[in-house]
Structure 1
Amino acid sequence: MTNFFKTSPSTKQLAFISLFLSLFIFCCLSLLVIFKCPFLISFDKNVSDFFFLRQNYLMIDLLSFFSFAGRPVLMILFISLLTVYFYCRAAISEKRFFFFILTIFSGNFVWIFIKELIKRQRPEHSFLKNSFSFPSGHSTDVFIVLFLLVILLETVNLKWKKTIILAFLLFSLVVAFSRIYLQVHYLSDVAAGFFLAYFWVFASFKIYKIIFGPCF
């Protein structure tokens, strides 16, 4: 059992507050989008236009690569294969294995459902016209994987944990930024993805422990 899971009462209280805040912020962003808040629309458009006017071929090619690497299907594949690897090496239990698999797949269904529910149109200059914008699927999935990676690496004996997590954090931020720069998402779409990912992973963590008992 690692220090990550040996939480004091004050830490548990802080975790609950952060969980509530992430849900609250996501709900606020969702309502602002649904009711087409003029301030949010103007802010998002200004940010989108700012990066559109500063696009160049080098940055487009570079960020297109990161955007492709951060595709939801690849993120699901990455964390699934990593979980299977540690499970086959007996580094994680069966309960933990199913927690990681269920969380990434259920999280993916959640953001797809919300997209279809809210139906926000993509930015004006987006080359994607047949899908919706809020929240960003790339952002949601890449941050779900980041948070799952933090939990996973805390449960296994592996060197360079902090380096791996920092590297993936940087990757996640670049993927999220790429979606704004490439004009396929607004800033609020990407931010909503982050807060939804945080809430989903750690709410799933709490619910899973209640249903199946302590497994971390």
Structure 2
Amino acid sequence: MRKYNIRKEFADEYVKRETNKKIKIASIALSIFLILMFFFTHSYGVHRILMPPLSIFFLIILIVIYISSLSQIKNIICSTYFEFSDESISRLLDKEKLNLMSKVGVSRNEHRYGVKFNQTIKFNEIESTSINANEITIKSKHYDFFTSNGKISIPKEIENYEAIKSEIIKNFDKYNLTLPNNGYNINERAKKEKD
């Protein structure tokens, strides 16, 4: 069993990247809401009165989300570690290290939305593995798009990232590795070359 943590010297870079992802999702959702509100209020002629304060209000919400997310995501990231065994890969969250705000957020996401912070994927359940500039993403056959259950993302800020990446490339069939640009599965290519 091999255990890896996020390297502390690179944790801030990872936190900013994850926070920016969260802000992008929030921005898209709020933008859609603002557009719908604009069309709805335009037909009544009150869009000039209602839209400016509503836009300012949503901007303030985005700033609050960003500031609060920075500390919460950092706490979660610094309490997360990855385990590699002969049968599986796991992303585990040490909940004892979380501060009160993070514990409440994690608990709410688990109970209300069914998000599992502790994930284990067995090698025989891997649907696909992809490698991009910032992370290695492993998806199981039971992957859920809405909760991200069944997906483990290994960030480049993890200890021994290059060694992990090399091992995955070397054992491409075990990980069902997919080439980044065209979605072509290396395992399928190897089978075709044998034929």
Greater RCO structure (CA 8 Å; 6+ sep): 1
What TM-score, normalized to structure 1?
A: 0.25
- Structure number with higher helix proportion: 1
The TM-score normalised by the length of structure 2 is: 0.27
Structure number having the greater strand percentage: 2
**Which has the greater radius of gyration?**
2
